[in-house]
Amino acid sequence: MPKNQDFRFSIAPMMEWTDRHCRAFHRTLSRRAWLYTEMVTAPAIIHGDRARLLGYSQAEHPVVVQLGGSNPALLAQAARICADFGYDEINLNVGCPSDRVKGGNFGACLMRDPALVAECVAAMQAAVSIPVTVKCRIGVDDQDVEEALDALADAVLAAGCARLIVHARKAWLKGLSPKENREIPPLDYDRVHRLKARLPHVPIELNGGLVTLEDARAAGAGLDGVMLGRAAYQDPDLLLEVDAQVHGETPPHADAFEAIAAFEPYIAAHLAAGGRLHDITRHMLGLFGGRPGARTYRRTLATEALVPGAGLEVLRKAVAAIRRPLAKDDGTRTGTEG
């Protein structure tokens, strides 16, 4: 498998989280993890500020843009724009259960209309030369997960879908909030494995409920890749282990201290361009979780990085707290995965 198609480990697209600064930070921690944008709707790309919505650092590759929509013509137009920006892949969201997504007739509700999803995939794939993939659930509401996932998979694969990423839960579009949809419907990893057994030559990634690399290795055995969302965001230290544990390669940095030092030039460039420190450090709060000084580290970044004019000295002050022999502390963490 070519290195640029080695998607054994991915970080899920998450609204309000996986922006360009988050992705640049995650890339500092792992050379090999596949990165995803937040979901962007096709109309937003066509009519909106493309530089803001689609801009990214060349260091982020491999990086995938996730699109939301259900109009084949609009998705094809948006896909062309994304391909021109240099993204490595286009992913269609057929998994997000939020009210805003349902109102726009895209996301998880499209599990009910495999033929339309196939039209969308075919239109996008005809418009671009890069792969088009689909991220979906195993079903929604009262659907039979055996029939629903097979129908969706067969339809999009026939239309040219290059890979399936399956969040191994149903989405309940009535009665559960988006947060509850990430936690309450039971995980069914076996259903994803049955799909792989039926389609052994189709690349299939597993998503949903994976907390550690050990969890991912066990649950994803026999599949082509695993995708972590909230766990990777909330505990970015684990990303320092991805290259070694998943790919058998030397990590880009020996530890989080070294990674932060290597990330400082990116932060400095953002500040020099008029950006705020908090734009970036809000994605770094999960580092050092459970270590002495972690609470002080988080508090420093969460408060002082918001002050107008805050610079690298605030980050350095926060990091310095970790080196002090303070008592071990804990902390609560929070996201929205698409």
> What is the rounded distance in angstroms from the CA atom of residue 103 to the CA atom of residue 30?
36
Output the CA–CA distances (angstroms, integers) from residue 317 to 26, 162, 301, 311, in the order listed: 21, 46, 9, 10
Q: Residue 336 has what pLDDT?
A: 45
Q: Residue 234 has what pLDDT?
A: 96
Residue with more model confidence, 161 or 105: 161
Tally of CB atoms within 10 A around 160: 15
* Mean pLDDT, residues 275-283 taken together: 98
Q: Residue 100 has what pLDDT?
A: 62
Catalytic residue among 22, 82, 96, 136: 96
Per residue in 2-59, pLDDT tens?
445 789 999 999 999 999 999 999 999 999 999 999 999 999 999 999 999 999 999 9
Strand ranges of the sheet holding 35-41, from the earlier edge strand across to the other edge:
9-11, 225-228, 204-207, 164-171, 132-140, 89-94, 63-68, 35-41
pTM (two decimals): 0.92
**120 labelled catalytic:** no
Per residue in 159-171, pLDDT tens?
999 999 999 999 9
Mean pLDDT of the chain: 92
Measured at the CA of 15, the angle between CA 68 and CA 83, to 5 degrees, comes to 45
Let me know how many helices (H) and strands (E) the chain has, helices first. 16, 8
Chain mean position to CA 28: 16
Residue 183 has pLDDT above 50, yes or no: yes
Residue 258 makes CB contacts below 8 A (sequence gap 6+) with: none
Confidence at 333, pLDDT banded by 50, 70, 90: very low
- Compute the Cα dihedral for 153, 159, 164, 168 and give only its sign: negative
Q: Residue 329 has what pLDDT?
A: 46
Confidence at 330, pLDDT banded by 50, 70, 90: very low
Residue 98 has pLDDT above 80, yes or no: no
Confidence at 327, pLDDT banded by 50, 70, 90: very low
The one-character DSSP state at 282 is T
* Mean pLDDT, residues 126-134 taken together: 98
Cβ atoms of residues 42 and 68 within 8 Å: yes
In terms of Cα–Cα distance, which of 38, 155, 136 is closest to 94? Answer: 136
Residue appearing with tokens 């994304």: 82
> What is the rounded distance in angstroms from the CA atom of residue 333 to the CA atom of residue 338?
18
Per residue in 257-267, pLDDT tens?
999 999 999 99
89 φ, ψ (degrees, to nearest 5)? -165, 155
Tally of CB atoms within 10 A around 15: 20
> What is the rounded distance in angstroms from the CA atom of residue 139 to the CA atom of residue 148?
6
* Mean pLDDT, residues 232-255 taken together: 97
Helices 145-158 + 189-198 axis angle, to 10: 40
